[in-house]
Amino acid sequence: MTTTKLKIIALIAMFIDHVGQFITTAPEWFHWIGRVAAPIFIYAVVIGYQHTSNRRKYIIRLYLFSLGMAILNLIINISFNDTQMYITNNFFAPLFLIAMIILLLEKSQGKYVIYLIIWQILAFFLSVLFVEFLNINLTSDTTINYQFFGSIFGSILFIEGGPLFVLLGLFLYLSRNKKGNTAIIYCLFSLFCYVVYVKWGQRQDFLFPYIVQFAKYQWIMIAALPLILFYNGKKGIGLKHFFYIFYPTHIIILYFIGVYLR
Nearest alpha-carbon partner for 156 in 110, 196, 124: 124
Question: What pTM, to 2 d.p., does this model score?
Answer: 0.94
> Tens of pLDDT along 219-255?
999 999 999 999 998 888 878 789 999 999 999 999 9
Q: Which comes out higher in pLDDT, residue 133 or 70?
A: 70
What confidence category does residue 35 fall into, taking pLDDT thresholds of 50, 70 and 90? very high
CB 154 within 8 A of CB 98: no
Give 139-197 pLDDT, tens digit per residue. 888 889 999 999 999 999 999 999 999 999 999 999 988 999 999 999 999 999 999 99
Q: What residue ranges do the domains of the chain occupy?
A: 3-261
| Alpha carbons 166 and 121: distance in angstroms, whole number | 16
Q: Which residues, at least 6 apart from 162, have a Cβ–Cβ distance to it below 8 Å?
A: 156, 210, 211, 212, 213
The predicted pLDDT at position 54 comes to 92
> Closest Cα to residue 7, out of 189, 176, 241?
241
43 has a pLDDT exceeding 90: yes
Whether the CB-CB separation of 68 and 24 falls below 8 Å is answered with no
How distant is the alpha carbon of residue 218 from its chain centre? 14
Between the alpha carbon of residue 200 and those of residues 36, 116, 159, 205, the distances in Å are 22, 27, 18, 10
DSSP 175: T
Q: Pick the more confident residue, 53 or 228.
A: 228
Q: Work out the average pLDDT over 4-21.
A: 96
- Which pLDDT score is estimated for 235? 84
Average pLDDT taken over every residue of the chain: 93
